[in-house]
A and B are shown apart, each in its own frame.
Chain A
């Protein structure tokens, strides 16, 4: 049973470009969570999604960031017009149901030049 998969593992973008991060949850998991880890800090919650629904986006920046979890395919975290401050590790987690343990992927490390 494969774990949570994220790709790419490393992503380099120039300021103003778009970054698209993908997360495939564990088999049988329909709940996905995105977290951001800035250097030397803990993880910060960004958004919680179920298939085709955003449940809680209280941690998402108001501009440039969006997330989706379509009926088919991986969850996508999109960052438009990236700035240097977006450089961080972005982790995805999944769970089979609300209230269940979250299992984390290896993360995508975004570097904005």
Chain B
């Protein structure tokens, strides 16, 4: 079945440490890929997206993600986490390439310790 998987429900990192959030998808073709962040009580903010081209994508707030076709993955990374990065992170895919129906993973909640 087509799906998006975020295997880590909850991650805790120390401020200043590096971060990697995992996202795997299972679709026949390469879908459009997105990472969104949701702060408590807020809506979702787009961090970055991948449609085609360079497999390393730069986003806002110092985030980047790498698309790996062989692993069906689109992991989100940040070299040095700030306390304000504490939030829930959602990976999303658009399997149709029309951006009309996003399918979201269940999210990874990031906690940052000082």
Contact, CB under 8 Å: B43 / A45: no
- A sample of 21 inter-chain contacts (CB < 8 A) reads A6-B43, A33-B100, A35-B102, A42-B104, A43-B92, A43-B102, A45-B102, A48-B100, A55-B100, A59-B101, A91-B44, A93-B44, A95-B99, A99-B97, A99-B98, A99-B100, A102-B99, A104-B36, A104-B44, A106-B41, A106-B42
Residue numbers in A under 8 Å from B101 (CB-CB): 33, 45, 48, 56, 58-59
In B61-77, the 8 Å CB interface with A consists of none
Residue numbers in A under 8 Å from B42 (CB-CB): 106-107
Sort chain A's interface into a size bin.
20 to 34
Q: Is the interface of B mostly helix, strand, loop or mixed?
A: loop
Residue pairs across A and B with CB atoms within 8 Å: the count is 62
Q: Of residues A4, A33, A102, A106, which shows the largest number of chain B Cβ atoms within 10 Å of its Cβ?
A: A102
B100 contact from A41, A44, A56, A91, Cβ within 8 A: A56
Q: Mark B38-74, 1 if CB is under 8 A from A, else 0.
A: 0001111110010000000000000000000000000
Q: Mark A48-69, 1 if CB is under 8 A from B, else 0.
A: 1000000110110000000000
Assembled-state Cα–Cα distance A42/B107 (Å) = 6
Residue numbers in A under 8 Å from B25 (CB-CB): none
Contact, CB under 8 Å: B46 / A103: yes
Q: Is B103 an interface residue (CB 8 A)?
A: yes
Q: Is B111 an interface residue (CB 8 A)?
A: no
| Residues on B facing A (Cβ under 8 Å) | 4, 36, 41-46, 49, 90, 92, 97-107
Assembled-state Cα–Cα distance A85/B45 (Å) = 27
Cβ distance A93 to chain B, nearest Cβ, rounded Å? 8
Residue numbers in B under 8 Å from A99 (CB-CB): 97-100
Cβ distance B112 to chain A, nearest Cβ, rounded Å? 20
